[in-house]
Chains A and B, each alone.
Chain A
């Protein structure tokens, strides 16, 4: 079974600085997908970024980028120029190539200090 591990229960960063959230996963599959979801206090799950395992290029979405290390099974999220609105729970998630359900990590609570 696949597992996703987020080793940082909580992170804090000053507004406008850069923060990196860690995620590792375990799988025996070669084709899979990785996601970062954001959950603000409203509890709505919002997709931040996704990465296909067959793509070597790291995904980017504006201030959000990932560092995908397939051999190390690592998938970290970098948030540049942190804003107060980035404060939320961030979940790393894995999906196999067959479009099965998502396996989530336990989440990282990101605090933005003004």
Chain B
């Protein structure tokens, strides 16, 4: 089985530009999570979905960040406008079901650099 797929793997952009990160969860998984990893703050949960519905977005840093899951096999995380402090590695993870804390499987991450 293919694991969680993220694209792009690397993204370099200039401040003020819109950035869209993409994620394809493992087929059959019902829950999808977006995390951000920085040296200063470590790994932080941004938002998660269950059955394509956003459950908790309290970790989204500000209104510049938005996430969607239009169907069970695709999610996006958008930053508009981007700022240098958004530079980080963004991970997507999926798990088989909610109701119990099943194991989360991570994608390879997207390294975002905002100049």
Contacts and interface: CB of A to CB of B under 8 A. Distances in A.
A44 B108 contact: yes
Given A43-B89, A43-B108, A104-B42, A99 B33 contact: no
A100 interface: yes
B109 A102 contact: no
Interface residues of B, number: 29
Contacts of B42: 104-107
Interface size class of A (residues with CB under 8 A): 20 to 34
Given A32-B101, A45-B91, A101 B45 contact: yes
A95 interface: yes
Nearest to B106: A45
Interface stretch (B11-19, B68-76, B79-87, B92-100): B92-100
A99 B95 contact: yes
A47 interface: yes
Contacts of B48: 100-101
A41 interface: no
Contact of B97 (A43, A95, A99, A103): A99
A107 B38 CA distance: 12
B59 A99 contact: no
B40 to A, nearest CB: 10
Contact of A47 (B43, B59, B91, B103): B103
A98 B98 contact: yes
B11 to A, nearest CB: 14
A49 B47 CA distance: 24
Given A43-B109, A44-B108, A107-B42, A101 B103 contact: no
Contacts of B97: 99
The CB with the most chain B CB atoms within 10 A, among A45, A50, A96, is that of A45
B61 to A, nearest CB: 15
Contacts of A104: 42-44
Given A45-B109, A100-B101, 7 more contacts: A43-B108, A43-B109, A46-B106, A99-B95, A99-B99, A101-B48, A101-B56
Interface of B: 31, 33, 35, 42-45, 48, 50, 55-56, 59, 89, 91, 93, 95, 97-106, 108-109, 111
